[in-house]
A and B are shown apart, each in its own frame.
Chain A
Amino acid sequence: MAVCIAVLTKDNCPLYVATDPTEDALKMHFLVHTSIDVIEEKLSSATAANDPRDLYLGQLYPNEDYRIYGYVTNTKIKIVVIETISNPLKDARQVFSQVHSAYISLVCNPFYSPGETITSQPFLQTVTALMRGKAIA
């Protein structure tokens, strides 16, 4: 089960950060913020461990209580997912893929201007359901 899902723009502005109520929100924000550096480093490193053309970046850095995963789209939108070690996600790639699809639907919505904070109900519902570990149809 994810404890935090964050969506950031290409300038690293947070568009949306969802945190599980059982966790300290400030700590989650801090972890997301520190992971930005790691993402930038992974993007610019020439000898990437993963396939450098893959959008999924894998685990970003080790931490005693949490695992932090990153994903960057071709349009430079960064998605960060934090999960607890005690309750791991089944498939992080699947979560990223679904958050990405929800984001695409959001951008195609004519009432949403890219760069605004996300307040769209369908997007919020998708992310909340993903955090609880429910697969989306």
Chain B
Amino acid sequence: MSYAPDSLFDSLHHQMILYFEGRHGQEQVSQCMEKLGYRVGFCLIEKATKEEARVKEDVDIVKYICKDLWTMVFRKQADNLKTNHTGTFVIQDNRFRFLTRVSQSEQYKQRGELYVAFTCGVVKGALANFGLPCTVTAEIDMSPTVKVTLTLQHSVN
């Protein structure tokens, strides 16, 4: 199966950010991107889990996100997953796709945060479809490394 080139989605993603900025102003961009991502994540999971065996534990669900969902969206698996075993998980991606082409100087650090909002939405939507409502935030300490933190609100079991 052949894929469309990555640059198509990278460009679309960039344009989405510019569109929301022009239309709603900079403060609303993250919210709008996250809402879009939510629906995308929701549908992706619905489609992808049809052929999968039943996923039961919270940890298995998060691992599924790191491996299969990340592969679907970014064509690679997430690089690292940490947990504190009380419902908080941190997914680390060392070469976050949307930031690899953004300059790494301090000047663009704030803008960089707009580029992770969509992904946070995708993860949030995916987890919501699995039955795990959660809050998702992202930190960029050193671009292009991104850490996505999930805080589960309650367990599915």
Asked if A and B are interacting partners, one says: yes
Can you report 24 residue pairs joining A to B where beta carbons are below 8 Å apart? A10-B131, A51-B53, A52-B54, A52-B56, A53-B54, A54-B53, A55-B54, A73-B49, A73-B50, A74-B45, A74-B55, A74-B130, A75-B46, A75-B49, A75-B130, A76-B131, A101-B50, A103-B46, A104-B46, A104-B47, A104-B50, A108-B43, A108-B47, A114-B129
Name the residue on B nearest A105 (C-beta). B47
B115 at the A interface (CB under 8 A):
no
A127 nearest CB across to chain B (Å)? 17
Residues on B with C-beta less than 8 A from A101 are 50
Q: How many residues of A contact B (CB 8 A)?
A: 19
Query: Which residues of chain B from 33 to 66 have any CB-CB distance to chain A below 8 Å in the complex?
Result: 39, 42-43, 45-47, 49-50, 52-56
A70 to chain B, nearest CB (A): 13
How many CB-defined contacts (below 8 Å) exist between A and B? 43
Residues of A47-94 contacting chain B, CB below 8 A: 51-55, 72-76
Chain B contact-residue range equals 10 to 19
A107–B50 CB distance below 8 A: no
Residue contact A75 to B129, C-beta cutoff 8 Å: yes
Complex Cα distance, B43 from A110, in Å, reads: 10
